[in-house]
Amino acid sequence: MSAGPLPRYTPGQYLAYERGSEGPHEYYDGMIYAMAGGSFRHGQIISSLTQALGGRLRDRDCFVIPSDLRVQVSAEGPYFYPDVVVVCGEPAFADSNSDNLVNPLLIVEVLSPATATYDRHTKFEQYRRLPSLREYVLVSQAEPRVQSFSRNSSEGDWTENNVSGLDAVWHSDSLSLTLPMRDIYARVTFPG
């Protein structure tokens, strides 16, 4: 006997469920996905990156928000919880609940073995639909490596930049700033 089809949810059903839920869930292609907890190293990197970016952007009209703010790609979805979001200028929300950001400038995902392919392909494909997004950053937790994609404003194409090693410096095109990799990976211990 085969199982029946999985239920599909509308964005409205998802938001009603999510707003009454204890933990975060993402919404993609009519499905609701519970967010799994991250590793200690994952949390360290998010914390260090949030602090480092926040320090560099302190005197600018920008906000650095760690993983508890939902980003809405369109009214139909998807809805994701990026690991770090930077919004500059006035934040714009989908509605008066102010819990669905629609104008991120920079999005960071810290890669885990379970989500790396999804973050690298599916999420990036969806995030590119956001007109405000200028940079998408993938941060490895297995080694000191940052891969960033910057939107070329004149053509809409994306330029890839890869940085490796603790002695390197990552440059954010969208924020016009640099961060030493040691700041991103502060006190992180790598295996081996």
**41-50, 92-101, 168-177, 183-192: the lowest-pLDDT one:** 183-192
Of 86, 68, 66, the C-alpha closest to 21 is 68
In a domain, 97, yes or no: yes
Give per-residue pLDDT as tens, 17-26: 999 998 899 9
In a domain, 107, yes or no: yes
Global pTM value: 0.93
The token pair that represents 185 in the structure block: 């990976």
The structure tokens 């964005």 sit at 11
Q: What is the CATH number of the domain that holds 125?
A: 3.90.1570.10
The token pair that represents 83 in the structure block: 């690991």
Q: Which domain holds residue 138?
A: 38-184
- Domains identified in the chain, total number: 1
Give per-residue pLDDT as tens, 51-87: 999 999 999 999 999 988 999 999 999 999 999 999 9
Q: How far is CA 107 from the centre of its chain?
A: 4
pLDDT at 3 over 60: no
In a domain, 15, yes or no: no
**Cα–Cα distances in angstroms (integers) from residue 31 to residues 15, 57, 100, 139, in the given order:** 12, 36, 17, 26
In a domain, 166, yes or no: yes
pLDDT at 124 over 90: yes
In a domain, 114, yes or no: yes
